[in-house]
Structure 1
Amino acid sequence: MLYLWVKAFHIIFVVTWFAAVFYLPRLFVYHAQTEDAPGNERFRIMERKLYRGIMTPSAVLTVFFGGWLIWLNPAWLDQGWLHVKLALVAGLIGYHVWCGRLVQAFAEGTNRRGHVWFRWFNELPVIVLVGVVLLVELKPF
């Protein structure tokens, strides 16, 4: 029964983390196109609140509950699919940190990337999501 509760909370926080991971770069797209001071300030506030208030806590709780699941099922550590999944999660954490640096660059007014770059940047977590879901469900290794 504990396993199901931990798994449910892991999934809940994965969903909220990915929602933020998909939305924050979309805000970057619009922010990069904004030229007026009130619009820039509005995006700075939205980006900061999303990153600090939703995205980072969701990431921390996702990793916490995921670690708890591994602790409840240590045999998974012998399975290749988990190693690949953890590598993808590590990549997503790197992406998360990169997003934090971009939030800071926009806040400081030092962003030099255009909206087209951010549109491509926004697609990277899709690869991680597809990979993680397929690995967890199919356990191919």
Structure 2
Amino acid sequence: MGTFLAEYYLWTKSLHVISVLAWMAGLFYLPRLFVYHAEVVKTGTDTDALFQTMERRLLRAIMNPAAISTWIFGLALVFTPGIVDWSMLWPWTKAGSVVAMTAFHMWLAARRKEFAAGTNTRPGRTYRMMNELPTLLMLVIVFSAVAKWNFWEF
């Protein structure tokens, strides 16, 4: 298995980056949809139904498959011989941030269900603030993985 992963390392890495880009696009866009849904749209209107459709399709057709493929290709990279040195700090900061990103994804999915049920109680400001979280996590992930930067040694 290790030989196979090493042989296809660049393909795996490319597919991982493509998956991450698609996932991040959704993680940036869905909270922005929630801002407008919470601030402008009245429950039960045609516009409410339109926003629910956009949010559902974004989550199910783009974000969920992208998150799953990000994890699959990321784990393939982890198991590729010579790629990750777990004695260093950077893979742990990256892994923790990816888990946090996944938890944020699940938080967004739960909020989408609230909008669908007409039970959202959070104001647009909450979604505006939460929209910054993927950016912060992305910075930690990129600096950890690319620069092998250990944040606690800065």
What letter is aligned with 1:101? A
Aligned match for 1:111, one of 120, 124, 132? 120
The equivalences for 1:1-141 within 5 A come to 1-33=7-39, 34-35=41-42, 37-73=45-81, 75-141=84-150
Larger proportion of helix: 1
Amino acid of the residue matched to residue 31 of structure 1? H
1:78 counterpart SS class: coil
Deviates more, 1:114-123 or 1:60-69: 114-123
Taking the aligned partners of 2:85 and 2:75, their CA distance within structure 1 comes to 11
**Which protein is bigger by CA-based radius of gyration?**
2
* CA RMSD of superposed structures (Å): 1.2
Runs of 4+ in 1 over 2 A off after TM superposition: 73-79
Counterpart CA distance in 2 for 1:78 and 1:61 is: 26
Q: TM-score, normalised by structure 2?
A: 0.87
Aligned-partner Cα distance in 1 for 2:53–2:81: 41
Q: Give the TM-score, by structure 1 length.
A: 0.95
The offset of 1:82, in angstroms, is 0.4
Identical amino acids, percent of aligned pairs = 37
The answer for unaligned runs of 5 or more in structure 2 is 1-6
